[in-house]
Structure 1
Amino acid sequence: MSAEGELANALGELLADPSITQVADLAPRLHTSTRTLQRVAPRYFGLTIHSMIRRRRQQEGARRLPTDPTLSIANLASELGYSDHAHFTTDFTGVLGVSPRDFRGSEPLIVGG
């Protein structure tokens, strides 16, 4: 396997780590530049790194929302690495087609949690 292929494999494994919330988190852990990773990702995965991180964060949000009715959307957004719940809600709605509150179902929105 080529060095680039090995880098792509390592990148794929690292992208599954929930502590990775930004593209900048990856380069130091893979001992390469952010730009190199930005070139490798679309070539091997067909998506940008940002898109893959965003999707994983949305999947985690979708997994947690229905299972923890006491978790506020603002706290979940923070735990997933968002600066505020509005950005999380925009991304979540864009990816899943429904707001986090509606996804949760009839559960009330709990502020502060």
Structure 2
Amino acid sequence: MRERMREQLGAKKSDQFDVKQDRGGIADIEFMVQYGVLAKAGRHSGLLQYTDNIRLLDELSQTGWLSAEEAELLADAYRAYRSYVHKLTLQEQRAMADTSAFAELRQSVAALWQRLMEA
């Protein structure tokens, strides 16, 4: 399902990165958080206290589903992406960036996606 969303909603040009929809972007982080909550909430009630991704990432690290470093990486990426998107939204622009933007974050988020979601 996520791959279909990337194809339909992501950047259509190879030199652009859709911060929300492309691989390693916001939606990937949100999907990982949602999957982790669904997988672990039955045994870890702390996951039911919050609805925001940043606190849920912290809770997911406490369950062992993510390491503290992985949770911090995803939270930092999420904050950086959201800040960028907010600036573009104020300028009434789409959440697009050059492919070189956020390259390291994108790669790290994509690697976590592969480990957690494609294993």
TM-score normalised per structure 2: 0.27
Higher relative strand content: 2
TM-score normalised per structure 1: 0.29
Higher relative contact order (CA 8 A, sep 6+): 2
